[in-house]
Structure 1
Amino acid sequence: MFLLKLGLVATSVLLASLAARRYGHGVAGALAGMPVIAGPIMLFVLVQQPAGHAAAIALATLVCLPATIAHLVVFALCATVGAPWWAGLAAANTAIVGGGWALAQLTLPAEAVYALALMAPAVGLLAMRHCARRAGSGPPVGGPVAIPRSELAWRVAAALVMAAAIMLGADVLPVMVSGLLLAIPIAGNVLPCFTLPRHGAQATVALLTGFVRGLFGFAAFFVVLHATLPGAGKAIAACAALAAALSAALAVHLLHQRLARR
């Protein structure tokens, strides 16, 4: 089971990187922002744990989602001021751990958590527009991206190491800590660290902006999962959550395309 989880992580990071090769940084980020890693991990939790425990982890993940947005925005801001990738990585993870801890101290009803989680990506997109302006003008970053095969291997290896630590922790640590671990964007840590030194700040901001767009689907997945688990069975809740994630992703993609044409 553990190896299957790692295989899903490797596949998702590889697919996002291949999407960047074909369609550009923004599409890669949007794909990585979807719950392609946290979703399957959560489904495994559903199989292995009682429904109440899985619902608690889903809610804890939603509580931490604004901190996930802060992680991506902080990394983008660091890229725009010329910080190296390792400084952006350190600052971004400080933001998500500190922000996640602060949010965990709040006692909010589930409805308020839903609202914050669904609003956070919209706020993140506004912040990313500011980052894009700070990044300045340069060559277009919307087309295919050259990524050597050796770099693909390093991306996957880095994601596997990080995913292994998160999965092992999510199974044994308290619910709030498990939720924070699931909210940490594995691809959001790995992909910009390779994008920034090779392709620059503009490309990194485009990648992270796409990632924020993908988090609309992430939020929809966990909101629907938590909302349906008490009254429905695990299988129904899982199917409803997956359908919500795909619907949200499609809606955001179509809206983004329409705005881009305008």
Structure 2
Amino acid sequence: MGLFAVKLAVTPLLMALVTLVNRRFGAAAGGIVAGLPLTSGPISLYLALEQGLPFAGAAAHGSLVGVGAVLVSYLAYLLASRRSVLFSCFAGFGGFALWALAAGRIGSDTGLVLADLALTGLLLVLTRGASAGTRPARLPPWDLPARIAVSTGLVVMVTLAAPLLGPALSGLLAPVPVIAWPLIVFVHAQSGRDAAVATIRGTVSGAVGLCAFNLAVIRLAPTEGIALTYVAALSLSLAVSLALVGVLYRRKASS
């Protein structure tokens, strides 16, 4: 019961953090924070605590598939974003489903990571002109509660249903960006395509950190304890994400 209470407390706090960063520093900064393992990290840890490290390690492999599916959803959303927000949403979900089905044929962790990095590079190229300083319009009162409800619901659903879903499907669902997707859609609807593209660019920057996190869990879970596995995985994820963001914004500042 204590762990369930933690799930209900941590996710809303993370969602509030993303929202505050987005409002204070703009769409791209909010996207970068939303791209970190704010839901997949806690889900993976909860799976390790409740189902064991072998289950969490197998789920991390599924999460690498999920990261690629998320990136394809961003690509589809981006390509459709000159049309309506609703059409863009359907395109994004379609892209996610197609990649989730196709990537099951990629068996190795290395192959999945290379595919994810290639998709990340493509998206960063396509969003290169995005304005990092774009700020969203004033958000309605229901904005934050809606995001909190959706993100908390996914964390609770995946971890409670894990014994039925199994590690592969639990892992696939873990990186579903329930924080980033609503952020992109709300920004697109309220501030236009340019702000949505900036948010996608920021969020994509965090995908490299997600890959590092899941790869660390896969490698460490079979032999190390929970504490070392997740401290190392989170540290590696943060280091990789911050390094990539630093490179991207140094290039932008010098251009």
Same fold (TM over 0.5): yes
May I ask how many residue pairs the two structures share in their alignment?
A: 251
- 1:174 partner SS: helix
Q: 1:36 aligns with which of 27, 35, 38?
A: 38
Give yes or no for contact 1:63–1:100 (8 Å, CA) kept in 2.
Answer: yes
Matched with 1:219 is 211
Shift of residue 148, structure 1, vs aligned partner: 4.3
**Following superposition of structure 1 onto structure 2, how do residues 56-135 of structure 1 map, counting pairs within 5 Å?**
56-79=58-81, 81-84=82-85, 86-104=86-104, 106-129=105-128
Q: 1:253 aligns with which of 230, 238, 245?
A: 245
Give yes or no for contact 1:31–1:214 (8 Å, CA) kept in 2.
Answer: yes
Larger CA deviation: 145-154 vs 217-226: 145-154
**Rounded Cα–Cα distance in structure 1 between residues aligned with 2:120 and 2:200:** 11
**Rounded Cα–Cα distance in structure 2 between residues aligned with 1:40 and 1:221:** 11
**Following superposition of structure 1 onto structure 2, how do residues 176-195 of structure 1 map, counting pairs within 5 Å?**
176-195=168-187
Matched with 1:10 is 12
Matched with 2:167 is 175
- Long gaps (5+) in structure 2: none
Larger CA deviation: 163-172 vs 201-210: 163-172
- Using the aligned pairs only, state the percent identity: 26
Matched with 1:23 is 25
- 2:28 partner SS: helix
Taking a change above 3 Å as real, the CA distance of residues 179 and 17 of structure 1, as seen in their structure-2 partners, is: same
Shift of residue 61, structure 1, vs aligned partner: 0.7
**Rounded Cα–Cα distance in structure 2 between residues aligned with 1:19 and 1:27:** 7
Give yes or no for contact 2:31–2:199 (8 Å, CA) kept in 1.
Answer: yes
Give yes or no for contact 1:26–1:210 (8 Å, CA) kept in 2.
Answer: yes
Q: 2:193 aligns with which of 197, 201, 214?
A: 201
Superposition TM-score, scaled by structure 2 size? 0.89
Shift of residue 7, structure 1, vs aligned partner: 2.7
Q: 2:52 aligns with which of 32, 50, 53?
A: 50
Larger CA deviation: 22-31 vs 225-234: 225-234
Shift of residue 110, structure 1, vs aligned partner: 2.7
Give yes or no for contact 1:26–1:142 (8 Å, CA) kept in 2.
Answer: yes
**Rounded Cα–Cα distance in structure 2 between residues aligned with 1:181 and 1:189:** 14
- 2:174 partner SS: helix
Shift of residue 163, structure 1, vs aligned partner: 4.2
**Rounded Cα–Cα distance in structure 2 between residues aligned with 1:218 and 1:161:** 21
